[in-house]
């Protein structure tokens, strides 16, 4: 690469592990992988358990991981991450969690009433996220999810955000790039995968601090923090441990990947990986 590094792209799901007390290793295509200086985990949400197991194995060999296995697991558990953010007093929409509530009407009332956003706990990229405009619609959707034995989050709808959110890319405790994502007409989800458009945005000091605090709470060195602009200040929607880079590089014109490598160059030292944060 331009910075003088040699990079291997390894399919996490095709890795397998030699778990021993003396020489733990990660094997791939019939060979033990070399001792890398650093790894950059890019793990899909559907393979979090196995992917973090592989990252943990690299950590056992003394390899520096830009995001540690514990921090990735923490951020991927939506309920756990929201509870941790709440404990730290970080702004977020009023949220309820349920599996089989006796009083669905009270669950909805407790987050401020309709309209509400209903989310499957395991959803990603806007999939499994529904906006219910009325009390009756919300009750019907929740009952349908309950019928599938699904755990759900019910959140207040931040109408003043206007179908837009802000993706902040945090690396090493600093926001290195930010973009505003605007949902397509007739859509409230701003994900680029769902037709949203992105442009560069200027952050307020409070927004910048909220993004950094959210990343620190999760223990992530590199992540995307999604914020909504509300009348009560910035609110965290999600902390993503494997954020896409193409969209934010295109929107901002910044060499985000280069800045990630710069952070690794300064911090990648043998056996430096350790669990950060709590939870």
Walk along the chain (279 residues) in steps of 10 and give the mean pLDDT of each run.
81 91 87 93 91 94 94 92 94 87 85 90 69 91 85 88 91 96 68 69 96 97 96 93 91 93 87 50
Hey, do 95-157 and 160-267 end up sharing a CATH topology, with the first three levels equal? no
Rounded to 10 deg, the angle between the 69-76 and 205-218 helix axes is 110
What is the model's pLDDT at position 98? 80
Q: What sign results for the dihedral spanned by CA atoms 216, 84, 129, 41?
A: positive
The structure tokens listed for 136 are: 């009756």
**Rounded to two decimals, what is the model's pTM?**
0.86
What is the model's pLDDT at position 78? 87
Q: What sign results for the dihedral spanned by CA atoms 157, 219, 125, 256?
A: positive
> Count of H helices and E strands in the chain?
8, 14
For 163-172, b/e burial (b = at least 16 CB within 10 A) is: bbbbbbbbbb
CATH fold for domain 160-267: D-amino Acid Aminotransferase; Chain A, domain 1 (3.30.470)
Q: Please give the Cα distance from 182 to 195 (Å, whole number).
A: 9
Paired strand residues for 199: 180
What is the model's pLDDT at position 99? 75
Spell out the domain ranges in the chain: 95-157, 160-267
Paired strand residues for 27: 16, 32
CATH number of 95-157: 3.30.1490.20
């Amino acid at each position: 690469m331009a910075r003088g590094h040699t990079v291997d792209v390894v399919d996490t799901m095709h890795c397998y592990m030699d778990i021993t007390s003396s020489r733990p290793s990660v094997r791939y295509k019939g060979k033990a992988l070399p001792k890398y200086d650093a790894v950059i985990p890019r793990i899909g949400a559907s393979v979090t358990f196995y992917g973090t197991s592989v990252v943990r194995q690299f950590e056992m060999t003394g390899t520096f991981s830009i995001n540690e296995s514990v921090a990735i697991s923490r951020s991927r558990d939506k309920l756990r991450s929201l509870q941790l953010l709440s404990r730290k007093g970080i702004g977020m929409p009023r949220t309820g969690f349920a599996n089989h509530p006796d009083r669905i009407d009270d669950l909805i009332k407790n987050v401020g009433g309709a309209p509400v956003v209903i989310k499957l706990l395991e959803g990603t990229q806007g999939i499994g996220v529904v906006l219910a405009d009325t009390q009756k619609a919300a009750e019907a959707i929740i009952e349908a999810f309950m019928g599938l034995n699904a755990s759900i989050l019910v959140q207040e709808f931040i109408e003043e955000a206007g179908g837009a959110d802000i993706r902040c890319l945090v690396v090493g405790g600093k926001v290195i790039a930010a973009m505003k994502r605007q949902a397509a007409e007739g859509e409230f989800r701003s994900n680029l995968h769902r037709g949203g458009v992105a442009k560069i945005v200027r952050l307020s000091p409070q927004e910048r601090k909220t993004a950094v605090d959210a990343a620190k709470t999760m223990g992530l060195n590199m992540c995307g923090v999604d914020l909504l602009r509300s009348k009560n200040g910035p609110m965290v929607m999600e902390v993503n441990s494997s954020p896409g880079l193409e969209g934010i590089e295109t929107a901002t014109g910044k060499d985000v990947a280069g800045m990630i490598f710069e952070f690794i160059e300064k911090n990648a030292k043998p056996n430096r990986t350790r669990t950060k944060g709590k939870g």
